[in-house]
């Protein structure tokens, strides 16, 4: 190697080091600072509104075991049930739509994503209307058929988990199908040639190969379930089933606010999530998941014969339960003067749509949410792709710690992390409190786990040799990222973009505390309508939100048809 080329390599290394260090400093700052405030609040045993705390102690932690153990138990039971159901739903649908020749694939795939476009309250409100005891539509139908008693009761642990799984199943679906799309079908074909049945191929070849994607999705979905709020609010509270998020909601809304209780409960969940992440890392470190290698491949779906129609029916059933039925129930509710499931006493009106559309601040909030979604998803996904590369591909010492770091915001329920963000940013002498800039930074911070998990599932599948090849051929780090890594990551990047965009538009926990009078977003307005203005107006607002988001995405996909081909 000549002296000149040695210097060039050195320059590249410097460049890479500068980007890495800068990125880590920014991300570290965004994540660690709120956590410091959170830990401090959990140890505050004096006046909850005093800052800094007047007295420190562990009282809040002991109180969990004394007063809130049933809340923790409910949370864990529901989260585990919901995660299992969501992953089953997500995996099955992803497999059907990416690995088989099910009819109407493109359309079905679009429909599968629909639940994710709806605000989480939609599902919870709709299923409360559909399967409420005594008067839910399903029970009315049951009694109408001459049976007695109730056939369905949504106000149970299983009911809450069911609603959560039905609507979070889509996240699992998007994350897992991103992995499946990046998988070389030659491996499955080999299994089939060797005589394995389709089911066996799925279980012994497909499943192990997409394991990082599935595990990543499980981890992420479990965290989402622990921090899930909408179903717990709408269904849990009437059932007297309190979970951690509703207990935290109560603690932060009461006066004097019980921030100590909320923070301690949030950090207790953090321990659970930390254990999960360690398990995940242990699993993926042990295996090789590279399915994208130097060998060219074209994803080819398996021919399922007549079974394809059964699989088609499975997809349709999901769309029916998660989209058509809830939207129909909400549509009906939104047209009533006062929400009721007893149709004989219902009075119909358009007034709720008029009210919702006349609420000027709600219109602004919708526009702000869309803008934040586009901005945070676009900038965030690039930063996160680089972060993922640092974590899984660089030789940086302590990169494992970064993976833990970016998972922090997901390991604490969003409502608690939202509070922590509020404390952190109020105490930073940068005047962005009460502006959309703060919401953008907060969204980026809380979306880190979602983006990183989605992208990690795909990065792990890309054989290192492709990047090494680029480097051997003399490409710099930036050139290699631009021409090899990022193009290979494209399906994952697009999936992550979509997930982050939607998560931003639906974001509630951080927004509730960081919104200002002139920087409002839509989800808190909808929850506020639920809390104070009635289900009928909430239904109208939720449907308007869903419709607006779908229209925005359709326009986006049309405009960027070439770039988003992988998604369709």
Shortest distance (Å) from residue 120 CB to other proteins: 17
For other proteins, which is the closer residue by CB, 83 or 333?
333
**How many Cα atoms within 13 Å fall on the side-chain side of residue 266?**
37
Q: Work out whether 533 is an interface residue with other proteins (CB under 8 A).
A: yes
DSSP-assigned letters across all residues of 73-109: HHHHHHHHHHHHHHHHHHHHHHHHHHHB--TTHHHHH
- Inter-CA distances, 171 with 91, 178, 531, Å: 10, 11, 27
User: Interaction with other proteins in 146-175: which residues (CB under 8 A)?
Assistant: none
**Position of tokens 């969003």?**
414
User: Residue 130 in contact with residue 138, Cβ under 8 Å?
Assistant: yes
How many chain residues are in contact with other proteins, going by CB under 8 A? 61
User: Interaction with other proteins in 22-41: which residues (CB under 8 A)?
Assistant: none
For other proteins, which is the closer residue by CB, 339 or 381?
339
Enter the tokens of residue 377.
């998803």
Q: Work out whether 358 is an interface residue with other proteins (CB under 8 A).
A: yes
Judged by phi (left if over 0) then psi (alpha if -120 to 50, else beta), residue 214 lies in: alpha
Enter the tokens of residue 353.
């749509």
Q: Work out whether 525 is an interface residue with other proteins (CB under 8 A).
A: yes
Q: Which of 226, 277, 319, 512 binds other proteins (CB under 8 A)?
A: 512
Shortest distance (Å) from residue 446 CB to other proteins: 19
Piece of 28-36, 157-165, 360-368, 552-560 that binds other proteins (CB under 8 A): 360-368
Piece of 102-110, 211-219, 294-302, 422-430 that binds other proteins (CB under 8 A): 422-430
Shortest distance (Å) from residue 252 CB to other proteins: 6
Q: Which of 43, 244, 341, 421 binds other proteins (CB under 8 A)?
A: 341
CB proximity list for 57: less than 8 A, separation 6 or greater: 43, 45
Piece of 172-180, 219-227, 243-251, 268-276 that binds other proteins (CB under 8 A): 243-251
For other proteins, which is the closer residue by CB, 193 or 342?
342
Q: Which of 1, 240, 305, 472 binds other proteins (CB under 8 A)?
A: 240
Q: What is the C-alpha separation between 430 and 417, in angstroms, rounded? A: 20
Q: Phi and psi for 268 in degrees, rounded to 5? A: -65, -40
User: Residue 362 in contact with residue 521, Cβ under 8 Å?
Assistant: no
Piece of 84-92, 293-301, 342-350, 453-461 that binds other proteins (CB under 8 A): 342-350
Q: Which of 150, 153, 189, 250 binds other proteins (CB under 8 A)?
A: 250
**Position of tokens 């030659």?**
186
User: Interaction with other proteins in 97-116: which residues (CB under 8 A)?
Assistant: none
Bond from prior residue into 256 cis (ω within 30 degrees of 0): yes
Shortest distance (Å) from residue 549 CB to other proteins: 20
Helices (H) and strands (E) counted in the chain, each on its own, are 27, 0
For other proteins, which is the closer residue by CB, 249 or 501?
249
User: Residue 210 in contact with residue 90, Cβ under 8 Å?
Assistant: no
Piece of 232-240, 400-408, 465-473, 550-558 that binds other proteins (CB under 8 A): 232-240
Shortest distance (Å) from residue 18 CB to other proteins: 33
Query: What is the per-residue binding string for other proteins in 544-563, x denoting contact by CB under 8 A?
Result: --------------------
CB proximity list for 410: less than 8 A, separation 6 or greater: 220, 223, 224, 227, 273, 446, 448, 449, 450
User: Interaction with other proteins in 386-415: which residues (CB under 8 A)?
Assistant: none
Q: What is the C-alpha separation between 35 and 121, in angstroms, rounded? A: 28
H or E element that contains 144: helix 137-144
Query: What is the per-residue binding string for other proteins in 255-284, x denoting contact by CB under 8 A?
Result: xxx---------------------------
Piece of 263-271, 393-401, 406-414, 524-532 that binds other proteins (CB under 8 A): 524-532
Query: What is the per-residue binding string for other proteins in 49-68, x denoting contact by CB under 8 A?
Result: xxx--------------xxx
Q: What is the C-alpha separation between 354 and 253, in angstroms, rounded? A: 30
Enter the tokens of residue 75.
């949370």
Q: Work out whether 534 is an interface residue with other proteins (CB under 8 A).
A: yes
Piece of 80-88, 96-104, 171-179, 331-339 that binds other proteins (CB under 8 A): 331-339
For other proteins, which is the closer residue by CB, 44 or 182?
44
H or E element that contains 116: helix 105-117
Q: What is the C-alpha separation between 336 and 348, in angstroms, rounded? A: 4
Q: Which of 147, 309, 320, 338 binds other proteins (CB under 8 A)?
A: 338
Q: Which of 337, 464, 561, 565 binds other proteins (CB under 8 A)?
A: 337
Q: Distance between alpha carbon 217 and the CA centroid of its chain, in Å?
A: 9
Q: Which of 5, 14, 197, 254 binds other proteins (CB under 8 A)?
A: 254
**Position of tokens 């400093």?**
25
Closest CA to 110 of 185, 174, 176: 174
User: Interaction with other proteins in 297-326: which residues (CB under 8 A)?
Assistant: none
- 292: β partners: 462
Q: Work out whether 516 is an interface residue with other proteins (CB under 8 A).
A: yes
Q: Which of 5, 135, 190, 197 binds other proteins (CB under 8 A)?
A: 135
- Inter-CA distances, 115 with 236, 323, 340, 461, Å: 20, 6, 24, 28
User: Residue 41 in contact with residue 217, Cβ under 8 Å?
Assistant: no
User: Residue 388 in contact with residue 455, Cβ under 8 Å?
Assistant: yes
Q: What is the C-alpha separation between 105 and 545, in angstroms, rounded? A: 26
Shortest distance (Å) from residue 258 CB to other proteins: 8
Contact positions vs other proteins (CB under 8 A): 49-51, 66-70, 132-135, 237-238, 240, 242, 246-247, 250, 252-257, 337-342, 345, 347, 355, 358-362, 422-423, 426-427, 431, 433-434, 512-513, 515-518, 525, 528-529, 531-535, 537
């Amino acid at each position: 190697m000549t002296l000149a080329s040695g210097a060039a390599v050195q320059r590249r290394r410097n460049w890479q080091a500068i980007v890495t260090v800068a990125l880590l400093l920014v991300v570290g700052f965004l994540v660690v600072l709120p956590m410091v405030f959170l830990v401090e609040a959990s140890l505050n045993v004096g006046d909850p509104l005093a800052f800094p705390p007047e007295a420190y102690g562990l009282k809040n932690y002991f109180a969990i075991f004394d007063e809130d153990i049933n809340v923790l138990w409910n949370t864990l039971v529901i989260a585990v049930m919901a995660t299992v159901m969501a992953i089953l739903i997500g995996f099955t649908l992803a497999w059907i739509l990416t690995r088989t020749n099910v009819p109407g694939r493109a359309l079905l795939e679009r429909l599968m994503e629909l639940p994710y476009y709806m605000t989480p309250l939609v599902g919870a409100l709709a299923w409360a209307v559909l399967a409420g005891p005594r008067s839910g539509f399903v029970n009315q139908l049951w009694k109408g058929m001459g049976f007695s008693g109730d056939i369905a009761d949504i106000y149970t642990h299983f009911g809450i988990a069911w609603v959560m799984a039905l609507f979070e199943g889509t996240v699992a679906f998007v994350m897992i199908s991103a992995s499946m799309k990046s998988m070389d079908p030659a491996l499955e074909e080999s299994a089939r040639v060797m005589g394995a049945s389709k089911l066996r191929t799925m279980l012994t070849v497909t499943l192990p190969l997409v394991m990082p994607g599935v595990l990543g999705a499980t981890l992420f979905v479990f965290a989402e379930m622990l921090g899930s709020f909408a179903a717990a609010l709408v269904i849990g509270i009437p059932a007297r089933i309190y979970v951690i998020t509703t207990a935290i909601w109560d603690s932060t809304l009461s006066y004097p606010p019980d921030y100590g209780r909320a923070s301690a409960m949030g950090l207790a969940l953090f321990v659970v999530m930390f254990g999960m992440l360690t398990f995940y890392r242990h699993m993926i470190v042990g295996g090789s998941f590279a399915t994208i290698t130097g060998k060219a491949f074209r994803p080819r779906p398996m021919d399922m014969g007549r079974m394809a129609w059964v699989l088609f029916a499975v997809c349709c059933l999901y769309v029916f339960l998660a989209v058509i039925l809830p939207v129909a129930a909400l549509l009906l509710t939104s047209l009533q003067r006062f929400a009721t499931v007893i149709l004989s006493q219902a009075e119909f009106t358009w007034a709720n749509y008029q009210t919702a559309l006349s609420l000027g601040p709600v219109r602004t909030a919708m526009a702000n949410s869309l803008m934040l979604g586009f901005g945070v998803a676009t900038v965030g996904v690039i930063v996160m792709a680089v972060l993922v590369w640092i974590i899984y591909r660089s030789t940086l010492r302590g990169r494992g710690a970064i993976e833990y770091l970016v998972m922090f915001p997901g390991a604490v329920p969003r409502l608690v992390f939202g509070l922590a963000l509020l404390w952190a940013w109020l105490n930073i002498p940068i005047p962005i409190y009460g502006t959309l800039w703060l919401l953008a930074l907060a969204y980026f911070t809380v979306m880190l786990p979602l983006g990183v998990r989605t992208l990690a599932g795909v990065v792990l599948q890309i054989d290192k040799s492709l990047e090494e090849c680029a480097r051997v051929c003399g490409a710099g780090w930036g050139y290699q990222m631009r021409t090899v890594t990022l193009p290979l990551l494209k399906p994952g990047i697009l999936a992550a973009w979509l997930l982050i965009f939607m998560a931003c538009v639906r974001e509630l926990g951080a927004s509730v505390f960081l919104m200002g009078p002139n920087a409002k977003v839509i989800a808190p307005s909808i929850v506020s309508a639920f809390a104070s203005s009635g289900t009928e107006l909430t239904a109208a607002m939720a449907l308007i939100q869903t419709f607006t988001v779908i229209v925005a995405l359709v326009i986006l996909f049309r405009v960027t048809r070439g770039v988003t081909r992988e998604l369709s």
